[in-house]
Amino acid sequence: MRVLSILLFISIFLYADEVVRLTDKYLNSQKCKACHYQIIDQWKSSWHAKSHYNNDEYFRKTIDYLGRKSRKSKNAIRVSCASCHNPRITVTQTDENYEILVAMKLDKNSGINEALASKNLAEGINCVVCHNIDKIHTKFNSSKHGVHRISWMPQGTMVGPFKDAFSPYHKTEQRKHFTSEVDTLCFTCHANDHTESGLVFTNMEKEYQKNAKKCVDCHMSPKIDGVASTLPLANAKPKKRKVRKHGFRGAHTESMWQGALGLSVKKTNKALIVTLKNSIPHNIPSGFGSRELIIDVEYKNAGEVIARESISLTRRYISKRKKPTIAHLAVSQSKDMSIAALGEKSLKFKLNKKADSVNVTVSYRLVNDEIRTLLDLKEAIWSKKMLINTHRMKL
């Protein structure tokens, strides 16, 4: 019993270590709302605000699945994933000592479990994640993600794009990852991910093709007239700024997909050639594994559908037991079927000679059928087909 008590003490000592523990003043976005209410309202509808384990079904069920299929405990996996999903967590790693405590059911009061239950994490990626980063270590090994790639500012100092920013409530400083090097902030987490076996299943930073657009131009907004703070500091009025919206639109935002790929259709003697053109600087699909493009072809005669054909462009993952699995447990993966950044892909369909017209529809889905079934995802968003483009042609 004495040995077990020592192990428990060691675990608490190691993992109660403070990274940057937040006081009540900086605990959540409500503390920022008095001066930044427009930004907070935009952020609340974003998936950054839903990045916590309790708020995202896909994330939660992925962790639960990993906990069942791997040798790691569920909370150890949550700590690992928190490096991006909850970077303000006060522990950044676990080891075999913690796993022993879990196996012996002595982890209840451990520093790790307390850290995961902290109110600091409830809001996911909130203001004090991005706006308290001092430095992003771009030269670190690419295996380092999120919190392992950054240094924090002292608590009470917030950073942003404006050199002349001032607040009576906190110190303010400018950082280049909000100005000239803003993509590095996004790639702190939205970069690459790999399995325990070393298989890289997403590498957005590598596929990204620099052009006139930055990540924030699409996923936040172009710079617009507005205010960053509603404090009446300039002639008793809020200072006018060029600001971006903080809704962080992404793959979950249906309107983002409308026209995201160009679509052209050409008929030959025996085939229908469908060409998809990607004008944005990263692949489609990109990001987390098992996202999907669906090309539906409907052949019609006199207005009636006489034949249908579909092609799914997605990635599938295989476990060491040669069975379908989620990306994080894969030892191999199918060919990358995405449309390359600033590139195009042509697909061939057999021509139906009885048809007098054809409808081609391109849609996007967040999760393919295989993974949705494997994780038993129930929420409608995971099966919803979001329209990208459509084309009708007489034959």
CATH number of 335's domain: 2.60.40.10
Span 224-245, pLDDT tens digits: 999 999 988 778 889 999 999 9
Q: Which of 67-71, 165-169, 381-385 has the highest mean pLDDT?
A: 381-385
Question: Please, which pLDDT band fits residue 102 given cuts at 50, 70 and 90?
Answer: very high
Buried b / exposed e across 307-331, counting CB within 10 Å, b at 16+? eeeeeebbbbbbeeeeeebbbbbbb
* 194, 223, 243 - which closes a domain: 243
User: Measured between alpha carbons, how far is 70 from 184 in angstroms, rounded to an integer?
Assistant: 32
Taking a C-beta distance cutoff of 8 angstroms, is the pair 127, 29 a contact? yes
Of the candidates 243, 273, 303, which is a domain's last residue? 243
Indicate the residue among 221, 243, 265 that finishes a domain.
Answer: 243
Summary mean pLDDT of the chain: 90
Please indicate, yes or no, if residue 66 is contained in any of the structural domains.
yes
Q: Which of 24-38, 243-257, 341-355, 357-371 shows the lowest per-residue confidence on average (mean pLDDT)? A: 24-38
> Domain residues for 353?
254-394
Do residues 174 and 318 both lie within one domain? no
pLDDT at 14 over 70: no
State whether 137 and 21 are in the same domain.
yes
- Judged on CB neighbours under 10 Å (0-12, 13-18, 19+), 213 is middle
Residues 71 and 129 in one domain: yes
For residues 174 and 260, membership in a common domain is answered with no
- Residue 99 resides in a domain: yes
- My answer on whether 380 and 265 are in the same domain is yes
Kindly state whether residue 248 falls inside one of the protein's structural domains. no
Q: Does one domain contain both 237 and 271? A: no
Quick one: average pLDDT of 184-192? 91
- In this prediction, residue 11 carries a pLDDT of 42
Report the distance separating Cα 213 and Cα 184, nearest Å. 14
Among residues of the chain, what percentage have pLDDT more than 70?
Answer: 95
Higher pLDDT, 80 or 287: 80
175 and 95 co-located in one domain: yes
* Number of independent structural domains in the chain: 2
Residues 343, 237, single domain; the answer is no
pTM of the model: 0.90
pLDDT tens column, 114-160: 999 988 888 999 999 999 999 999 888 877 889 999 999 999 999 99
Amino acid identity for residue 160 in this structure: G
Helix axes 57-69, 74-85, angle to 10 degrees: 140
Helix (H) or strand (E) holding 157: strand 157-160
Please tell me whether residues 192 and 278 are part of one structural domain. Answer: no
HSE, CB side, 13 Å, CA atoms: give it for residue 315: 24
Q: Give a yes or no: residue 249 inside a domain.
A: no
In a domain, 375, yes or no: yes
3-state secondary structure 224-290: EEECCCCCCCECCECCCEEECCCCCCCCCCHHHHCCCEEEEEEECCCEEEEEEEECCCCCECCCCCC
Both structure tokens of 48 = 């950054």
- Does 11 share its domain with 140? yes
Is residue 342 domain-resident?
A: yes
Give me 167's structure tokens. Answer: 């607040």
Q: Mark whether 373 and 347 lie in a shared domain.
A: yes
- 237 and 101 co-located in one domain: yes
